[in-house]
Every structure is written in C-alpha cells, then in structure tokens.
Chains A and B, each alone.
Chain A
Amino acid sequence: MPLDNAADISTLVQPGRVHRRVYGDPEIFELEMEQIFGRVWIYVGHESQIRNPGDFVTTRLGRRPMVLTRHTDGEIHVIHNQCAHRGAMVVAEDAGNADEFVCCYHGWTYDTTGKLIRVPLQHGYPSHFDPDDPDTAMVRAPRVDSYRGFIFASLAKDGPSLTDFLGYMTTSFDDMVDRAPDGEIEIAGGVFKHAFDGNWKLYLENLCDAAHPLFVHQSSIEAASEQDDGAHSDGAGEIAVRQMRQNGAPYKMWQEQIGIWTYPNGHSFLGDYHDDEKLVAAKRNKVFTEYIAAMETKKGKEETKRVLEVTRWNSNIYPNISFMSQFRQFRVVHPVSVNRTEVFNYMFRMKGAPEKMFEDTVAFSNVTNGTGSLVLTDDLETYGRIGVGVNSGGAEWIEIGRGYETDSPDSHGGVQGKDSTSEVYIRNMYDAWLGYMTAA
C-alpha cells in the first residue's frame, strides 16, 4: 500500500511490535530522510576537529554531504558541499584549513560560512541571479549548536533547543568530558569506517541490546575464554580480551546487575555495567591508579568520586550516535539507502590522563569495534542477515515486546526496563520515530 498520510504510518507501530516495512520500504526511508534527518538535531562533529579559524572537516546530515567549518570570527557553520552554480561537490578533502572554498569547475568561490564571494565571468545573468541570496551559496544548515564540544546541526529553522532535545542525556556527554582530568577531550587515533547491507535503525537497536552478546559473540567469547590471564606480551589487547569474555556473562548478570534507561526523543543508555572489579579498566590496574591520582590532583577527591561513580555503558542519542565513556568510543551512523548503512567509529583522548589509557582505548577499539575486529564483525553479519530477513516477505511484524509489561517510569522523566534485557529502548525509539514521521 502506498503511504498516503500520517494515519498509514501510525499503523506500522503497535504496542510491542513494528511492521517490517519500516526496515525495508524505500518510500519510508525517503520520508525518514526528510522528517528525521532533514529536521531533528543530528550530530555532525566535535570541536576538537575544527579548533582554529579556517579549519574544516567534511561530514553528513543524513545523505547530505556537508562541511563543518570554523569561520574567521570563530563561529561554527555546517554548509552543504554543493556548488550553487552547476552543482559540483566543492570540498574534496576530508579535512583541512582554508580561507575560502573554490569550486573546481568554474571557480565560484565561497567563504567558510558558505557565502558566495566570487563569481568569475559575472555578466549577462538574468535578474533572479543574486550572489547575496543565502540560497545561492553552499547552503547553510539554519541551526548549529554544541553541547560540551559535541556539535549538532538541524535543517529545521525552528524547533526545540539542543539541550531540550538531549534532555537528561546531557549527563552522558558530561560523563564523557568530566572523566578527563583537564576537563577536555579530543578526537584522536583515526577512524573505523564500516558498512553493512541493512537499515540504519538496526545499529542503535543493537547498541543497547543486552540480550545479544551471548549469542552473536559466541565465537569471540569462546576464543577469549581460552586465553590465559597472564601478562600480555605488550599489554595491548588484554583489556579487550576481558571485554570479549564479559560478553559471555550469563543472563543472570544482565538481569541482576545491569539496567536500561530511556528518555524522550528516542535516547537511552545501558548502565550500571562497569563495576570495575568485574570488567576492564580494573581499579587495581596501574594505569588506572595513575589516572585516579591525576583526577584527584585536578578535581579533588570528592569530584573524582562523583565522576567515576557514573557507570554507563552505551548511550544512544537518537537517531545517529552511540557512545561510551569508559573507553571513549563514539559511533556515528550514516544512512545510505534503505538497506545500506555506513558507520564511523571514532575515539577520544582525555587530556591530562596517562597516555597509556589512550593506547588502551585504541587496543579496545581494534579488538572489539574495528572493521577487522573479533567482535563487531559478528554484529555486522547479524545486520546483514536482518537486511535479508526483513526484506524477504515473511512474518509481517517484528517483535520488540520483551519487558513491555514491566517498564516503569524513572526519576528523570524517562522509562526504564525491569532489567537490561528489556527492549524498552527500541520501543522508545519507535515512539520518537512515530512522532517525527507523522509531524506536520
């Protein structure tokens, strides 16, 4: 059936289930690109990528290729990477520093706010041609804002403020930044770029899924369980090996020791996970001891305790990021087509922390989140299989009902699952999805 109106969309989301078309229908995907990626706050980059005037980095808003820039006056802009003349992509490098952007085709030139500043052979144009028209430009996203260094853009002229949009989830960004002894973090260590033949929504739906590791990651659990705990030859990798084993924790642990919290606009986090005794950055670890000392020197004992008591695992900011403060991993999801998605996995370095902690971040990423890692590769396989399944015309409904009867309000205006295995965070994303998709 063609989608005629909001009422049709509404039939696709029901209590505890969604229609498989939301993952496979190109028409729905097109609507998502307008109603969601074309309107809501979308993460586009971090301030550490554009520290100085003239710095730029290419990014995306949904499928739109954008350039994130810092203008001479220090203002941040997000401009469409398309020439106003005959449409060529203007900026070809991934990152750099420039006073202006010159199109390769006929030399139309833009400043770092996207404004057209030079047009060679400017004669004989009809009266509508106005180089000062903001639409005759590398068109700027109307709203750009940042929270503690994390930059978002929205293609809607009006709407909720960024902090209203993030709501209680601002605390997850605080958790990322507050852990740095010097109070500052920076993107560092390269980026993994991976892709799969599946819908973009699958990614965040997996990142807070506490029920999947035991099945999906069986191979790395098995391989890591057999590795002895002795000193690793160079120290690298050990942390990640422990993480692989942790994925094999019995359901009892996921049910008794870990929780899932969800908030308006589709956001959520999986929490209470990192009891350091159980997991990776063990408090007895020498580097961690040095780190705590650095924290206490800079922030005092009390503040250090407060910061480190936050034990969140993945935080999802709907629709396109998922990050984790413990190992400073940060994934950005880019929809490509209804059944193709690309994901960038970045890392952050904490200023003032021992450099070995950053090396552990890199090692962790290599082994668990990398394109050739022992863990993520099984997730990618799973997304691909879902891509095949939901497009194969079988059962109409996708069940997302686990924990439905036992969800309960939390004290910050959200809804929490009875335990971490609840699919409440998926239901919560679909509440937001439905709101966006049916908005006038």
Chain B
Amino acid sequence: MSRLAPDDICAFLINEARTLDERRWEDWLSLFADDGWYWVPIEEGQTDPRTTVSLMYDDRLLLETRVRRLKAGKLHAQSPISRTTRTIGNVTVEDETNGVLTIRSKFQMIEYRRNLQRLFGGTLLHGLAEDGDSFVICWKKVELVNCDSMMDGLNVPF
C-alpha cells in the first residue's frame, strides 16, 4: 500500500484544484507525468477517447499546447477571463496497480465570466503515482454530469 496517508491524497487534490482556480496553469501542468493525459468524456460511460470525441482529450504535448494557449497574448475566449471556484469531496481510493493509485472524488466548479455564472459538477478520477513526498498525475478523467448537454464554449480545464 501507499506510504502516503489519505490526508496526503486529499491535500494533493485540494492543491491541484487551487492551481486551477488561481490560474497558475504551468503549476498545474507540472503536476502531470511526462506521459500523463487528461480526459473529459462527452458521453456517460465512454470507454474510448480515440473513436468518440471528447470535450477535452489531451496527451501531455497537447496539454502543454492547451496551457500555452491559456497564456497566449490574444485569447479572445478568455477576455475577460473566467473566475472559478472548486470544491472537492468524497475522496476514496479505488485501486492500486503497479504503483498507480486510482482516486475517485466528487467536485463542483462554479465558473463566472461576463455576467454569466455556470455550475459544473461530477466525478474526478485521478491516476496518481508517488513522487517523493507527493504525487504525479499519470492520468486524470473528469466525468461531468452534463457531459452530453448543449454548452457554450469550455476554456478552463476542470
């Protein structure tokens, strides 16, 4: 079993959420492993990101590109920016295979931009590997409860 305690896992998830709320995109990116990936499916129970589209599906290189865009000089879709606030809870360890823990949690994110407030919520699944006193994200999957709904554009990662 992992040397790190459940509290460490919660602290890691809370810190990750904070990097996103504070728009410290590079800090967020640095939490991912070099071959890490990030996935927001568009269908409930979607098993394959290769043959069905996704709201977001980035390997590490594409995630870097996404982050570079969030920092780009002329990002119209984030002018003005979105402010977000996230809450994480119901954290459980689901599995440990080859040193990678599967962590399940619930989240809610409020996004505010240009007079419009949107509410997102769902299940987060993290594949975490120990890395010194902390973890790296091997993969992260975000299951939105409204994944297949009609939506205006999504610019901020969950």
Whole-angstrom CA separation of A226 from B64 in the bound complex: 10
Contact with B along A191-227 (1 / 0, CB 8 A): 1111111000000000000000000101110111011
Whole-angstrom CA separation of A241 from B64 in the bound complex: 12
Q: Tell yes or no: B3 within 8 A of A by CB.
A: no
User: Once the chains bind, are B55 and A372 in contact (CB under 8 Å)?
Assistant: yes
Q: Tell yes or no: B43 within 8 A of A by CB.
A: yes
User: Once the chains bind, are A190 and B65 in contact (CB under 8 Å)?
Assistant: no
Whole-angstrom CA separation of A196 from B57 in the bound complex: 22
| Interface set, chain A 97-129, CB cutoff 8 A to B | none
Whole-angstrom CA separation of A333 from B54 in the bound complex: 20
User: Once the chains bind, are A223 and B76 in contact (CB under 8 Å)?
Assistant: no
| Interface set, chain B 26-52, CB cutoff 8 A to A | 35, 40, 42-43, 46, 49-52
User: Once the chains bind, are B153 and A193 in contact (CB under 8 Å)?
Assistant: no
Shortest Cβ distance from B40 into chain A, in angstroms? 6
Shortest Cβ distance from A58 into chain B, in angstroms? 14
Q: Tell yes or no: B73 within 8 A of A by CB.
A: yes
User: Once the chains bind, are B59 and A237 in contact (CB under 8 Å)?
Assistant: yes
User: Could you say which residues of chain B place their CB within 8 Å of the CB of A219?
Assistant: 69, 72-77
Contact of B72 among A191, A222, A234, A355 (CB under 8 A): A222
Shortest Cβ distance from A280 into chain B, in angstroms? 15
User: Once the chains bind, are B76 and A381 in contact (CB under 8 Å)?
Assistant: yes
Binds B, one of A63-71, A163-171, A362-370: A362-370
Whole-angstrom CA separation of A139 from B3 in the bound complex: 66
Q: Given A189-B53, A195-B150, A372-B55, are A218 and B73 also a contact pair (CB < 8 Å)?
A: yes
Contact of A220 among B35, B54, B69, B149 (CB under 8 A): B69
User: Once the chains bind, are A236 and B50 in contact (CB under 8 Å)?
Assistant: yes
Q: Tell yes or no: A35 within 8 A of B by CB.
A: no
User: Once the chains bind, are B77 and A366 in contact (CB under 8 Å)?
Assistant: no
User: Once the chains bind, are B65 and A377 in contact (CB under 8 Å)?
Assistant: no
Whole-angstrom CA separation of A188 from B52 in the bound complex: 8
Whole-angstrom CA separation of A219 from B148 in the bound complex: 26
Shortest Cβ distance from B50 into chain A, in angstroms? 5
Contact with B along A365-391 (1 / 0, CB 8 A): 111001110101110111011000000
Whole-angstrom CA separation of A276 from B143 in the bound complex: 37
Q: Tell yes or no: A232 within 8 A of B by CB.
A: yes
User: Once the chains bind, are A377 and B62 in contact (CB under 8 Å)?
Assistant: no
Interface size on A, residues (CB 8 A): 48
User: Once the chains bind, are B50 and A371 in contact (CB under 8 Å)?
Assistant: no
User: Could you say which residues of chain B place their CB within 8 Å of the CB of A223?
Assistant: 65-66, 68-69, 72
Shortest Cβ distance from A246 into chain B, in angstroms? 15
Shortest Cβ distance from B79 into chain A, in angstroms? 8
User: Once the chains bind, are A378 and B61 in contact (CB under 8 Å)?
Assistant: no
User: Could you say which residues of chain B place their CB within 8 Å of the CB of A376?
Assistant: 153
| Interface set, chain A 220-279, CB cutoff 8 A to B | 220, 222-224, 226-227, 232-234, 236-237, 241, 244
User: Once the chains bind, are A362 and B153 in contact (CB under 8 Å)?
Assistant: no
Q: Tell yes or no: A342 within 8 A of B by CB.
A: yes
User: Could you say which residues of chain B place their CB within 8 Å of the CB of A197?
Assistant: 152
| Interface set, chain A 171-190, CB cutoff 8 A to B | 188-190
Whole-angstrom CA separation of A163 from B55 in the bound complex: 36
Q: Given A222-B72, A371-B154, A380-B152, are A190 and B58 also a contact pair (CB < 8 Å)?
A: no
Q: Tell yes or no: B13 within 8 A of A by CB.
A: no
Which B residue's beta carbon lies closest to that of A231?
B61
User: Could you say which residues of chain B place their CB within 8 Å of the CB of A342?
Assistant: 150
Most buried by A among B66, B74, B153, B155: B153
Most buried by B among A188, A226, A374: A374
User: Once the chains bind, are A192 and B153 in contact (CB under 8 Å)?
Assistant: no
Q: Tell yes or no: B56 within 8 A of A by CB.
A: yes
Contact of B76 among A190, A222, A347, A382 (CB under 8 A): A382
User: Once the chains bind, are B152 and A196 in contact (CB under 8 Å)?
Assistant: yes
Q: Tell yes or no: B104 within 8 A of A by CB.
A: no
Q: Interface on B for A, CB 8 Å cutoff?
A: 35, 40, 42-43, 46, 49-62, 64-66, 68-69, 72-77, 79, 148-155
8 closest Cβ pairs, A-B complex: A372-B154, A377-B153, A223-B69, A223-B68, A219-B72, A219-B75, A218-B74, A380-B153
Q: Interface on A for B, CB 8 Å cutoff?
A: 188-197, 216, 218-220, 222-224, 226-227, 232-234, 236-237, 241, 244, 342, 347, 355, 358-359, 362-363, 365-367, 370-372, 374, 376-378, 380-382, 384-385
Complex A-B: 25 CB contacts under 8 Å: A190-B42, A195-B152, A216-B76, A219-B73, A219-B74, A223-B65, A223-B66, A226-B68, A227-B65, A232-B59, A233-B35, A236-B57, A237-B65, A342-B150, A355-B51, A359-B50, A359-B51, A362-B53, A363-B50, A372-B54, A372-B56, A372-B153, A377-B153, A377-B154, A381-B77
19 additional contacts, CB 8 Å, given A193-B149, A222-B72?
A188-B51, A190-B53, A193-B148, A194-B152, A194-B153, A219-B75, A223-B66, A233-B61, A236-B57, A237-B61, A359-B51, A363-B50, A366-B54, A370-B54, A371-B55, A371-B154, A372-B54, A374-B65, A378-B77
